[in-house]
Structure 1
Amino acid sequence: MSFNEGASLDTSQVTGGGGGRSGAAIGGGAGGIILLILGLIFGQNLTGSSNPFDTGQVTGGGTESTATFDQCKTGADANRDDVCRIIGTVNSVQAYWTDALPADVQRQYQEAKTVIFSGQTQSACGTASGATGPFYCPADQRVYIDASFFDELTSKFGADDGALAQEYVVAHEYGHHVENILGILAKGQDGKSGPLSGGVRIELMADCMAGVWANHAANTKDDNGVTLLKPLTEDDIKSALSAAAAVGDDHIQGTLGGGNINQESWTHGSSESRQKWFLTGYKSGNVNTCDTFATNDL
């Protein structure tokens, strides 16, 4: 999905990160790395906090840089630069939810910053690095993204290199923020795994919320009233679906885990399920269709 070239980007919704000291490793060896990928890509990094859902006990989090993102001023910049595309997507997603939540579920949206980092940084949920992939930390209510992940999304996981594949990643993480606002996110911590677990339901719900945003994205506007994004095309939707398929548990296990697919270890859902729920949100355009806890037909 392309940005309108004359739209203005609001860089105050993001911050830089970097310089964090290395934290304790999670797991070990090739198997541990694969489990780390399975647990954190498009999910919540919950390490380093005994109760990450109790946001009142944690403030701040992370080592912020003085990055100003001066190269990101307009939609034209977002069309040519991955970092600027993250910023533009954050602007659009937050503009949508600011209006949609009060209208749909009578709950006020609270803005959340995205930390764009390179290498690694600190969050209130532990050390963020390129190995963990994008995630939302409920303890400090921030999204963490290393922009280099988008290269891996294509080269390692097999998504195409379309803009909506990248924008879907950002919108998914903000879906977790919406879940947190609604008091739903904690339901994912049921101590279970597998295709019907709470964690999978939370992930699929965030996929659906990303689809809801995509439905309305071409109506979101910058602070000057200029529309941020152009209308979606069929190629845009195919791009988002390629990303959803690329991060399905079965696809990751099959391509990175030696080909052995074990549904009982799933934490995010199959490729088919992730595509299904993105389309559910996209076709309806309403967050009320995203209740993955109300059905076992995931």
Structure 2
Amino acid sequence: MKWQGRRQSDNVEDRRGISGGGKTLIGGGVIGIIILLLNVFGGETGQTVGSVLQQMQGGQQTQTEAAAPLSKEDQEMGEFVKVVLADNEDIWSKIFEEHGMVYEKPKLVLFRGSVQTACGGASSASGPFYCPGDRKVYMDLGFFEELKTKFGAKGGDFAIAYVISHEIGHHIQTLMGTSDKMRQEQSGKSEAQANKLSVALELQADFYAGVWAHYNKENLDVGDIDEALSAANAVGDDAIQSKMQGHVVPDSFTHGTSEQRMYWFKKGFNTGDIKEGTTFEEIR
């Protein structure tokens, strides 16, 4: 992606120079790996993970802060993230304006290790997530190395851009009331039915990521879309379950299959029309 020398958003909170942080709700080891596998790209993961692990890990740990200087590579990656967020701000502000709405710009928090959010505490093991409680995207960039080494994705900077734009998609769903409506519809449903609604929400976020890429074509390099599709393929529920347990359980899917995730990203990229994000109608 062509990003050097372009506008950077000032809505990024870089907390990578601080480690530690009060109550730890998500640990490493088995729990961390399970959370990562089940919640990768987690949508509104912070809310889910926080509520579950507060019950599992109620202990209070001593809060510590330690300086962790950023390398040149870290600093460059932070600048890249700021450009991607700026592109999302510009594109979604324009789309919202065209539809008679006002786009509220979210903040993006970069962290290492663990972080406290309005949705609870989280660690790097939770993967990137959006918290509707404070309307922020949280991300430990170390996740993307895991995406390559453990999930077989190609990697590349546009895989990061795709993930950021997917999480911004959840912010858009919050602004448009889609997330609240989905949670209301989940009430009283069976687990399988509720999971289908969750899948629809996640696939729509993939679609919105594709819409963003559609309007950012002038800044794309050859191979960028392939990097995004490789990431989407790697984190499909079926791919994750196959790696984790050797078989798949479709009724337990919460994010969609690899094929679905790639399809909806491509649909957003090809159409650029937010009205085409009809995942709820098609997934039911």
- Same topology, TM > 0.5: yes
Cα distance in structure 1, aligned partners of 2:178 and 2:68: 33
Q: 1:264 aligns with which of 251, 261, 265?
A: 251
Q: 1:122 aligns with which of 110, 113, 116?
A: 116
Residue identity opposite 1:198 in structure 2: L
2:82 pairs with 1:87: yes
Give the deviation of 1:2 after TM superposition: 2.5
Cα distance in structure 2, aligned partners of 1:261 and 1:41: 16
Cα distance in structure 1, aligned partners of 2:267 and 2:220: 18
Counterpart position of 2:282? 295
Give the deviation of 1:107 after TM superposition: 2.1
Q: 2:13 aligns with which of 15, 24, 27?
A: 15
Residue 40 and residue 279 in structure 1: after superposition, are their counterparts in 2 closer, same or farther (change >3 A)?
A: same
The structure with the largest helix share of the pair is 2
2:260 pairs with 1:273: yes
Query: What is the aligned-residue identity percentage?
Result: 37
Q: 2:224 aligns with which of 216, 221, 236?
A: 236
Q: Counterpart of 1:144 in 2: which secondary structure?
A: strand
Residue 217 and residue 84 in structure 1: after superposition, are their counterparts in 2 closer, same or farther (change >3 A)?
A: same
Cα distance in structure 1, aligned partners of 2:176 and 2:259: 26
Give RMSD over aligned pairs. 3.0
Cα distance in structure 1, aligned partners of 2:130 and 2:272: 23
Cα distance in structure 1, aligned partners of 2:216 and 2:66: 30
Cα distance in structure 2, aligned partners of 1:98 and 1:69: 32
When normalised by structure 2's length, the TM-score is: 0.82
Counterpart position of 2:93? 98
Whether the aligned pair in 1 keeps the contact of 2:25 and 2:122 (CA below 8 Å) is no
Q: How does 1:18-57 map to 2 (within 5 A)?
A: 18=18, 19-25=20-26, 30=30, 32-43=31-42, 44=44, 45-46=46-47, 47-48=49-50
Residue identity opposite 2:240 in structure 1: I
List gaps (5 residues or longer) in structure 2.
53-63
Whether the aligned pair in 1 keeps the contact of 2:26 and 2:126 (CA below 8 Å) is no
Give the deviation of 1:196 after TM superposition: 6.5
- Once the two structures are superposed, what CA deviation does each residue of 1:190-219 show, in whole Å capped at 9, x if it has no partner? 163479611100000000000000011146
Residue 218 and residue 185 in structure 1: after superposition, are their counterparts in 2 closer, same or farther (change >3 A)?
A: same
Residue identity opposite 1:212 in structure 2: V
When normalised by structure 1's length, the TM-score is: 0.79
Cα distance in structure 2, aligned partners of 1:268 and 1:132: 14
Whether the aligned pair in 2 keeps the contact of 1:194 and 1:200 (CA below 8 Å) is no
Cα distance in structure 2, aligned partners of 1:143 and 1:149: 14
Q: Counterpart of 1:202 in 2: which secondary structure?
A: helix
List gaps (5 residues or longer) in structure 1.
51-62, 72-76, 220-229
Counterpart position of 2:175? 181
Residue identity opposite 1:15 in structure 2: E
Q: Counterpart of 1:22 in 2: which secondary structure?
A: coil
Q: 1:172 aligns with which of 166, 174, 194?
A: 166
Q: Counterpart of 2:106 in 1: which secondary structure?
A: coil
Counterpart position of 2:61? none
Q: 2:241 aligns with which of 244, 250, 253?
A: 253
